[in-house]
Amino acid sequence: MRRDRSEAMNLFDLVPALGMTMDPVLMQLDTLLDDDRLFQAGQADLARRRPRTLMDGRPSTPVEVIPRRLVVKHGYGWSDEATARWVSDSLVWRQFCRVYAEAVPDETTLIRWANLIQPATLHRLLDHVVTRARALKVTRGRKRRIDGTVVATTIHHPTDSTLLDDGVRVLGRTLTRARNRLQATPAVARARFRDRTRRAKRQMNRIMAAARPHGTAAADRMHTADQHLLAIARAPVRQAQQVGPMLRTQTTQAAQRVAVALDHLVPWACQVVTQATRRVLQREAVPAPEKRVRRFEPHTAMIRKGKPGHPTECGRVLWVDEVEGGIISRYAVREGNPAEEAPLPPRLDHHLQVFTHPPRLLAGDRGVYTAANERYATRNGVKQVVLPTPGAKSATRIAHGPQRWFRQGHNWRSGIEGRISGLKRRHRLGRCRYHGPKGMERWVGWGAITPNLRVIAYATVHSPTGAVIHPCHGFIHGGMLPRDIWCQRVLHRNLVLGR
């Protein structure tokens, strides 16, 4: 049965001798998370875990614990296991996450509950957080800047050899499941269910060793190793094609599930073998639409950015909109490998919906510029549209660029590069650890909501005293760590260093 809240208590009152309190910014963040709108936003999603979650079953993890633990996790860039461990060890985090003196739910419980939160819910949560920032005068929505980046998925960089190795490994373990369902005799098992995973891995090691040196002899050794790996990869494909009809004759559900898995795997493995043969042996360029570059996370796109060291990235394109004050007002995860021209009308319409007025300044890079985007922004009341044109410029655009307001807006836009870098380093937005398209949306959504809450907490604590607000600072730094966790880390460091 779903529980909304635990019985409130103050752990610090139980141990007054410790004199422990929360940091002022953490206290303000705790107050922000007490908002009933934030609390109620995910209740409908969490009620879908089981058909009778609201009525039957043992008492669940309280609903208020889940968003607080997710904020801690994404705020510090911790894994689910580390979050459970630190919350369990710290009185401050127990109080903040509203766990109190109860047992801390383990990481698998957090994963199951977090997977129920829908992407649309996170977009509504972000809109409410932005509205809250506007009410507290952290931002007024007068300036808006746009930029894009790539969020990587949890796959290795695809090469022909690694894809062949993946095919051998995945088909091998699926054939092992099929052998258990068919109860094959030893003679049949050796012929049709042989696992070639270790052999493929040894061949992969030979390929990596041959790829290090340069020269004709090294290239010949690598070509021979690729041929051997292709021969190894063809064998489990033939076995799977023979075992599939045998599984379909079975009546058990377990056998049918394995048959369905083979039906999905065999075409993929055949295409990987075909493209590797064309590229490696026949030296043929395979067109991008005909390539298979991933087995897991099929929503991953190959995005050509041309950056030094990383010319091609594997993931999803993310567009981030930020207003003054360091508040992320909107994000959009794009499918496939879209064109660089970002559609501007949805962004301005969203700004008008949240702030009820257009921004005075709208800034973006050359990838955002189109004549239609510039006209739309001007028509909707944006006074200063800073969108540099790519390529050759007309005399009018050359005279337009050196104006003072244009140069100042262009300089202000460059700050979003640092904001994205901070999101990737501090909040681990660079690589999504969740799975599937919805997992990507959840990872990015919490990666946008958490820093917004941090910026609002800092602004409301320091602004009344006249202190300078540093939006790049956050509760992931040492000064914001709870005292007991900070002491544990210092003790661990001293033990490791032998001090």
Distance CA 498, CA 458 (A): 37
Q: Let me know whether 237 and 170 are in one domain.
A: yes
pLDDT of 22 strictly over 80: no
Does 324 lie in the same domain as 267?
A: no
Average pLDDT over residues 23-42: 84
Q: Same domain for 220 and 260? A: yes
My answer on whether 197 and 261 are in the same domain is yes
In a domain, 68, yes or no: no
Co-location of 239 and 318 in the same domain: no
Q: What is the mean pLDDT of the chain?
A: 84
CATH number at residue 175: 1.20.120
405 located within any domain: yes
Band (pLDDT 50/70/90 cuts) for residue 471 is: very low
Query: With contact defined as beta carbons under 8 Å apart, do 108 and 61 qualify?
Result: no
* Beta carbons of 162 and 226 less than 8 angstroms apart: no
> What is the pLDDT averaged over residues 265-294?
83
Could you report the per-residue pLDDT of 178-193, keeping only the tens digit for each? 988 887 667 666 778 8
CA atoms within a 13 Å half-sphere pointing along the CA-CB vector of 474: 21
Full-model pTM: 0.83
- Partners of 312 in beta bridges: 304
Tell how many helices (H) and how many strands (E) occur in the chain. Answer: 21, 6
Pick the range with the lowest mean pLDDT from 92-101, 201-210, 249-258, 462-471. Answer: 462-471
Instruction: Please state, as a whole number, how many other Cβ atoms lie within 10 Å of the Cβ of residue 29.
Output: 27
Decide if pLDDT at 476 tops 60: no
258 in a domain, yes or no?
Answer: yes
Kind plus residue range of the DSSP H or E element containing 306: strand 301-307
Task: Report if residue 192 sits inside a domain.
Answer: yes
Is the pLDDT at 305 greater than 70, yes or no?
Answer: yes
Sole residue written with tokens 């290239």: 219
Instruction: Give me the number of domains the chain comprises.
Output: 2
pLDDT at 361 (0 to 100): 96
| Whether residue 467 has pLDDT greater than 50 | no
Quick check: 453 pLDDT over 70?
yes
Which one is predicted more confidently, 465 or 315?
Answer: 315
Q: Quote the pLDDT of residue 391.
A: 83
pLDDT of 158 reads: 83
As a whole number, mean pLDDT of residues 73-82 equals 92
Q: Is residue 36 part of a domain?
A: no
Q: Is the dihedral of CA 330, 331, 334, 340 positive or negative?
A: positive
310 and 239 within one domain: no
Last residue of a domain, one of 290, 316, 340: 290
Q: Are the beta carbons of 168 and 200 closer than 8 angstroms?
A: yes
The CATH number given to whatever domain includes residue 398 is: 3.30.420
Bridge partner list, 333: 318
**Predicted confidence band at 495 (pLDDT cuts at 50, 70, 90)?**
very low
Q: How many CB atoms lie within 10 A of CB 341?
A: 14
| pLDDT value for 477 | 38
Residue 447 lies in a domain: no
Residue 15, pLDDT > 80, answer no
Same domain, 235 and 348: no
Co-location of 280 and 305 in the same domain? no
Amino acid identity, residue 405? W
Q: Which residue has the higher pLDDT, 207 or 489?
A: 207
Each residue's pLDDT tens digit, 190-203: 778 888 999 999 99
205/277 same-domain check? yes
Place 466 in a pLDDT band, splitting at 50, 70 and 90.
Answer: very low
Same domain, 246 and 305: no
Percent share of the chain, pLDDT over 90:
44
- Could you tell me if 259 and 351 lie in one domain? no
pLDDT over 70 percentage in the chain: 88
Residues 276 and 335 in one domain: no
Mean pLDDT of 123-139: 94
Examine residue 249 and state whether it is found in any structural domain, yes or no. Answer: yes
Domain end marker among 426, 452, 477? 426
Residue 71 domain flag: no
Give the domain-ending residue among 259, 290, 321.
Answer: 290
Q: Which of 197, 201, 173, 192 is nearest to 262 (CA)?
A: 173
Q: What's the rounded Cα separation, in Å, for the pair 417 and 411?
A: 11
Q: What is the pLDDT of residue 497?
A: 40
Q: What number is the average pLDDT over the span 393-398?
A: 86
Band of pLDDT at residue 250, cut at 50, 70 and 90: confident
Q: Range of 418's domain? A: 143-154+299-426
